[in-house]
Chains A and B, each alone.
Chain A
Amino acid sequence: PGPARLARLPLARVKALVKADPDVTLASQEAVFVLARATELFVETIAKDAYVYAQQGKRKTLQRKDLDNAIEAIDEFAFLE
């Protein structure tokens, strides 16, 4: 929980992104908080998943194509295609 706190996303920005959807009326502060935490987890997950491809390519640098590969391979990331 310690390090995760430091990486916390700016809640105001997350809230602004939620409100940018014209269909969305109101979201509670706790809902925004939960969504922010989920987004942090998303970043962690996609970074780790992409890194697997960098390792397969014997690279120490994560490149865009590694993310593209992860997006293509993983069902939950299909919305990013």
Chain B
Amino acid sequence: MASSSGNDDDLTIPRAAINKMIKETLPNVRVANDARELVVNCCTEFIHLISSEANEICNKSEKKTISPEHVIQALESLGFGSYINEVKEVLQECKTVALKRRKANSRLENLGIPEEELLRQQQELFAQVSEAMLVLMRVE
């Protein structure tokens, strides 16, 4: 179901994702279609609610970008504090992945320069050895 109108108000979470979540939460339960539809719309409202509040919290801070901490504070102030522990786990994973990526990138960068330098030094050494051998051969 592509939204071609470009109207932001038609944006929702895809039905399939909602269906999957409902199925995982209530495995052996049949769910009426209009109930599913309502859940989809509730999700949209929830996202607007939390991001609005997070935005206000962000405006009061000196930051220009809504941070995960702003979202967490919004959850707390709107009565969804019980979500915070799980949400923080996800945030920790985020940071761990980001950290691993930064380490991997910096390791490559660190290898690059010394390796070039090592190659250069190796070439020099070979040149010196060749020269030394020539001298020795002349002597013999």
A20:B9 contact, CB within 8 angstroms = yes
Pair count A-B, CB < 8 A: 170
Interface string of A57-78 (1 = CB under 8 A from B): 0001111101110010001100
* Interface residues in A, total, Cβ within 8 A: 51
Q: Which residue of A lies closest to B52 (CB)?
A: A21
B35:A17 contact, CB within 8 angstroms = no
Q: A21-B52, A34-B90 are in contact. Are A48 and B66 (CB under 8 A)?
A: no
Interface string of B22-40 (1 = CB under 8 A from A): 1011101111101101110
Chain B residues within 8 Å of A41, by CB: 80, 83, 86-87
**A-side interface mostly:** helix
Q: A18-B47, A25-B64 are in contact. Are A76 and B79 (CB under 8 A)?
A: yes
Given the complex of chains A and B, what is the CA–CA distance between A66 and B89 in angstroms? 31
Given the complex of chains A and B, what is the CA–CA distance between A37 and B93 in angstroms? 12
A80:B91 contact, CB within 8 angstroms = no
Q: Which residue of B lies closest to A75 (CB)?
A: B79
B13:A14 contact, CB within 8 angstroms = yes
A80:B26 contact, CB within 8 angstroms = no
Residues of A at the B interface (CB closer than 8 Å) are 1, 3, 6-7, 9-10, 13-14, 16-18, 20-21, 23-28, 30-31, 33-35, 37-44, 46-48, 50-51, 54, 60-64, 66-68, 71, 75-76, 79-80
The 9 lowest CB-CB distance pairs between A and B, nearest first, are A20-B8, A76-B79, A27-B66, A61-B30, A26-B65, A34-B68, A30-B68, A37-B90, A62-B31
